[in-house]
Amino acid sequence: MKKAIIGKKLGMSQIFAEDGTVIPVTVVEAGPCEITQIKTEEKEGYHAVQVAFGVVKVAKVTKPLGGIFKKANLEPKKYLRELDLEGDYQVGSKITCDIFNVGDIVDVTGISKGHGYTGTIQRWNAHRLKMTHGVGPVHRQVGSMGANTWPARVFPGKKMPGHYGVDQVTIQNLQVARIDTDKNLLLIKGAIPGPNGGLVNVHEAVKR
């Protein structure tokens, strides 16, 4: 992976192309990310670049994490993540949004919005049952489980009510529509996972 950065989803907006076409975009505060550690094959057994992002009060940083920042001679940050980056990086240097160019194709990974405990209609797009002919009052229930005398149980994997959301989701092949280096903003065409204020990982597209 040659390009990657950690950012915060700020919300959706729209911009206009030169011909007047409206382009829906998601605004991401991308970086700056400070490099806190370089992990190598010889010492850790794998290669990675550990980066820090986000403002946090010093009192809210645990001692183990505080030791990492102290060793790197950096101010504590809210998030600490590892990126599989190629290139010559040094501890203390910064990764900013200008590593991307307008028109780049990227993948965005984030944690999807949480919806709590939901039924099968919202969670799995199941059909609602008929509203007449003695079906009620179970119009929004799951319906037949497919079980009879045999196997007399519900097979694992049956699409049923339960916790919906808060999953890691990756949206592939999105386009960088605009970059604001002064405000560290990436404007990415389309929607990306997660709520406003959620942490996202923007990286070079794997499948173009």
Q: Over the stretch 119-140, which tens digit does the pLDDT of each residue have? A: 999 999 999 988 888 887 888 8
CB atoms under 10 Å from CB of 150, counted, come to: 6
Task: Please tell me the total count of domains within the chain.
Answer: 2
| Residue 87: half-sphere exposure toward Cβ, Cα within 13 Å | 15
Check whether residue 40 and residue 62 sit in a common domain: yes
Check whether residue 49 and residue 89 sit in a common domain: yes
Judge contact between 69 and 75, C-beta under 8 A.
yes
Check whether residue 181 and residue 106 sit in a common domain: yes
| pTM to 2 decimal places | 0.84
- For the stretch 96-118, pLDDT in tens is 888 899 989 999 999 999 999 99
> How far is Cα 186 from Cα 189, in angstroms, rounded to an integer?
10
Nearest alpha-carbon partner for 36 in 91, 90, 86: 91
Tokens representing 191 are 């929607």
Check whether residue 69 and residue 152 sit in a common domain: no
CB atoms under 10 Å from CB of 182, counted, come to: 6
> How far is Cα 67 from Cα 77, in angstroms, rounded to an integer?
12
- For the stretch 134-187, pLDDT in tens is 887 888 888 888 888 888 899 999 999 999 999 999 999 999 999 998 899 999
* Amino acid present at 37: Q
Domain with 98, as residue range(s), is: 4-114+173-204
Check whether residue 44 and residue 99 sit in a common domain: yes
Check whether residue 68 and residue 138 sit in a common domain: no
Tokens representing 116 are 């709590």
Collapsed DSSP state (helix, strand, coil) of residue 206 = coil
